[in-house]
Amino acid sequence: MSKINPNYHPVPVVFSQANGSIIWDPEGKKYLDFLSAYSAVNQGHCHPKILKAFQEQAERLTLSSRAFYNDRFPVFAERLTSMFGYEMVLPMNTGAEGVETALKLARKWGYEKKKIPKDKVNPFTLVYLPCFVICTDPSPDIRPVIRTVYSSFLLGARHMQAIIVSCCGCFHGRTLAVISMSCDNEATRGFGPLLPGHVKVDFGDHVALEKVFQEHGDRIAGFLFEPIQGEAGVIIPPEGYLKAVRDLCSKYNILMIADEIQSGLARSGKMLACDWEEVRPDVVILGKALGGGVIPVSAVLADKDVMLCIRPGEHGSTFGGNPLASAVAIASLDVLQEEKLAERSAHLGEELLRQLRKIQEQFPNYIKEVRGRGLFTAVEFDNRTLFPVSAYDICLKMKERGVLAKPTHDTIVRLTPPLCMSPDELQEGSKALQDVLEFDLPNIQKTKPKNSPTTATTCDRCGRNLYTS
């Protein structure tokens, strides 16, 4: 492990084998998976149909690159576009690549179709900054610095006028473009300068969104959002929000871009989380479960009017649309439909919420909120009464009881099991949480050093504390 960069803080358990919703460590101890690799294994670990497709294709052809055609990608493209009702797909590999693709697509559409000006110069840059230089008559030593700053302003003013609006608390990956939208200081500090052209708005607040659209609408190319915010702690927007977003994007001619990488592909109880309000985004980003937990596959869906704004040479991926990934993705989609995993997620999700709310009634001082949609659920704890214990400590004790879950933002435990999980296994997971709160928590509170309480860091971008509990 000393050779591995510690860019994650995992729960200390080693996976050696897996099947369905069960994990075994090298010593043979069994665990129930309540994370599903952040929803990458919705179909369950090592699904036989997906593995069969993988093996058969691996023995024939694995990679062609996009320099040539292969016989599996067209089948995958037809399957995916017909399943979700879009005219075209652009294939990538990871979810972060899918988001980057959608951002580039939106900006290209903004310039070509919406006619956002490419080189409109800010009057401040051309008038006020030079006047400041002249009036202050800086010393010769300072003039080169000011010229450099002025050149940077000018360069920024002449390019990238197309704005992307995103939500506070969002998580779309950790690439430079994506962290430029982030409210997570850990993701942004030390990686500047961040990219320009981003505006933030509160998630779930369509009134605030329209205000942003009114102020910047002629230069906004797209609104990127998660229908359910996953990393923020399974935050579900108010009813009617998605419909309001659709109406506003149509009104102001702005692309509605849904990041369904984690919330889509049956996780929320619908094939897409946007389906809960029967809205059709202009652009949909898919990933994670598209590869069935076997191989990275992501895709961006849109109609021709948007998709054809990107032409040969302007974007691509050596591995995107490769025959191995295409075969696996087709099988992954087949499993979702044939096993009715969206319906299963909706049914089991209701049962899981019922169990968790019963636990909340038993421990109202500890549990602040239980929320979820389908098998996309979370338990949020009250930091004041939980102190000095964290959600990570809760997950460690759940692990000891044979259930694997992962915290987010110190006070939230996500519970997102594979959609194939049995009702008995679901009950076993809930019981583990209940036992931790009843038997383990009092002991941890007594023995854990009572250092200063962990407080959520104030966001560098907006100055607010987004994750208070």
pLDDT higher than 70, residue 128: no
Scan for tokens 């997971």, then name that residue.
429
Q: What is the pLDDT of residue 341?
A: 98
Those residues whose C-beta lies under 8 Å from the C-beta of residue 454, and which sit 6 or more positions away, are: 383, 390, 410
Q: 301: pLDDT confidence band, cut at 50, 70 and 90?
A: very high
pLDDT above 70 covers what percent of the chain? 88
pLDDT higher than 80, residue 148: no
Those residues whose C-beta lies under 8 Å from the C-beta of residue 242, and which sit 6 or more positions away, are: 227, 274, 276, 277, 279
Q: 183: pLDDT confidence band, cut at 50, 70 and 90?
A: confident
Convert the pLDDT of each residue in 273-290 to its tens digit: 999 999 999 999 999 999
Q: 349: pLDDT confidence band, cut at 50, 70 and 90?
A: very high
Q: Is there a catalytic annotation at residue 171?
A: yes
Calpha distance 94→259 (Å, rounded):
13
Q: 118: pLDDT confidence band, cut at 50, 70 and 90?
A: confident
pLDDT above 90 covers what percent of the chain? 84
Choose among 288, 395, 403: nearest CA to 336: 288
Q: Tell me the mean pLDDT in the region 228-242.
A: 98
Calpha distance 54→339 (Å, rounded):
19
Q: What is the pLDDT of residue 334?
A: 98
Q: Which of 54, 76, 84, 171 is catalytic?
A: 171
Given phi > 0 = left and psi -120 to 50 = alpha, else beta, which region is 150? alpha
Convert the pLDDT of each residue in 353-389 to its tens digit: 999 999 999 999 999 999 999 999 999 999 999 999 9
* Residue 107: CB atoms within 10 Å: 21
Q: Which of 108, 270, 288, 406 is catalytic?
A: 288
Two structure tokens written together for 403: 């259930």
Name all contacts of 395-399 with Cβ < 8 Å and 24+ positions apart: 395/11, 396/11, 396/12, 397/436, 397/440, 397/441, 397/444, 398/34, 398/432, 398/433, 398/436, 399/11, 399/12, 399/13, 399/31
**Are 63 and 322 within 8 A, CB to CB?**
yes
Choose among 447, 452, 429: nearest CA to 393: 447
Q: List domains and CATH numbers for the chain.
A: 50-132+141-339 (3.40.640.10), 340-447 (3.90.1150.10)
pLDDT higher than 80, residue 99: yes
Lowest mean pLDDT among 133-137, 165-169, 209-213: 133-137
**Are 134 and 56 within 8 A, CB to CB?**
no
pLDDT higher than 70, residue 468: no
Convert the pLDDT of each residue in 83-93 to its tens digit: 999 999 999 99
Q: Which of 33, 184, 259, 282 is catalytic?
A: 259
